[in-house]
A = this chain, B = another copy of it.
Amino acid sequence: MCAATALPSQSAEFPAWYGEVVRRAELAESSPVRGAMVIKPYGYAIWEMLQRELDDRIKATGHENLYFPLLQPASVLAREGALVDGFAPEVALVTEAGGRKLEEPLAVRPTSEALIWSTYGRWIQSYRDLPLLYNQWANVVRWELRPRLFLRTTEFLWQEGHTAHETAAEAVAEALTILHDVYADTVESVLAMPVLRGRKSRGERFPGAEDTYTLEALMRDGKALQAATSHYLGQGFARTYDVRYTGRDGTDAYPYATSWGASTRLVGGVVMTHGDDRGLRLPPRIAPHQVVIVPILREADRAGVLQAAAALADALRAAAVRVRVDDRPEHRPGFKFNEWELKGVPVRVELGARDLAAGVVTVVRRDTGEKSEIPVARAAAAAGELLDDVQASLFEAARDERERRTVRDRSGYVELTEYLSRAAGLVEAPWCGRSECEARVKSDSSATIRCLPIDERPAPPGACICCGRPAVTTAVWAQAY
């Protein structure tokens, strides 16, 4: 790692800044296969904590994990028309295995609806078998032409839930439970990323979905990131793969489906939501090290300072704080400060002989840079409080930033598309619901409808910002990752 050279400026060169932060903070790097990344231990530790948070909520809402194979016969995938149209351009195909050409190519899973629904037919015989509430943690491959670490990679890690229900209402409720209780709760309370909750327009839906629910977050370059999606699939997959069961009234019925996913892309979202010109700023709840203790060592008092650092670390660990003592002899304190700032550790404690003599330590919070002296005896308790405060402050700062960059004042089509075309932020405005207007905004500004908010404002929607016809809904536009 090289912490010596300054990072590119976030505001002036966002893409370069992003790439350098990801690499220098040792989150991930490119691999010999174009578009596929190596997730390094520091980045993977963040993903593991996020995984645990998601998995706990997935199980708490009644789901079980299982595992379906990576390779899927191309013919199984091809049966679902919308799905194959949506994914065919991105699929990787295994054509040889075991030293021979295969009779039928195998697709490396781009998503698992097809394989899973071709199997559910055997599992769903009676209404008593419903609902099926299953999830899997897996890798998927989608060939990306313009890959970016975490955000668009040829292979990524995710969870994909696939459920089956007796009624449409139950399936819709499931999709919304996942959106709110699993995804929004994790993204907001753990990743400290404020999100808009909404549904996608027809043109932006998942292939084969009747409704796609989404979480949209604003990044610090003014672009939106789709943080997670949850799809109500209706009976389409059940019909395609002929999944029928005997209903309560004794007649055959098709179950209703949902699917939903969140991926390693969220790690990129954390970088782009909270990072600044000094590097990462990690929300404490997913920081691999929540506190780093940097002992300020001089030859004379070395042992005493190291002992005090170890004692403080023990006190923090006893309070369930993830703490690291950086006692590497080959680096000076200033180098370490820069490095841990780059890596986004929420709280740094500096501890030297002079401090010890005075009975204090210096505590620095990463989010604001604020420094304070705290009595040694209170240091562990104070660090815990500070972590809660950093977690809340990062969320509030990101929410304020989003509000600041959201235009709602309906100042006219030209102004709005100009705002969108320079990726200045979000535009929330009335829409007539017609795809012609959606297409026109996109062509004039590169912005898409990110979502139709489901916590929709009670105010009447007024006139479509594009065509002036009566609006049927509010839409949120932005350029997006």
Contacts and interface: CB of A to CB of B under 8 A. Distances in A.
Mostly, the A contact residues are: mixed
B128 A330 contact: yes
A393 interface: no
Contacts of A69: 31, 33, 36-38, 154-155
A64 B38 contact: no
Number of copies: 2
A83 interface: no
A5 B468 CA distance: 70
B91 A66 contact: no
B67 A44 contact: yes
A391 to B, nearest CB: 24
Given A33-B72, A118-B32, A330-B128, A67 B93 contact: no
Contact of A92 (B96, B128, B155): B96
A237 B248 CA distance: 62
B41 A73 contact: no
A89 interface: yes
A66 to B, nearest CB: 5
Contacts of A61: none
Interface stretch (A139-147, A170-178, A221-229, A424-432): A139-147
A33 B73 contact: yes
A85 to B, nearest CB: 13
A97 interface: yes
A325 interface: no
A472 to B, nearest CB: 37
**CB-CB nearest 4 A-B residue pairs:** A98-B143, A36-B69, A92-B97, A41-B64
8 contacts: A31-B68, A36-B70, A39-B67, A41-B66, A70-B155, A71-B92, A71-B154, A94-B94
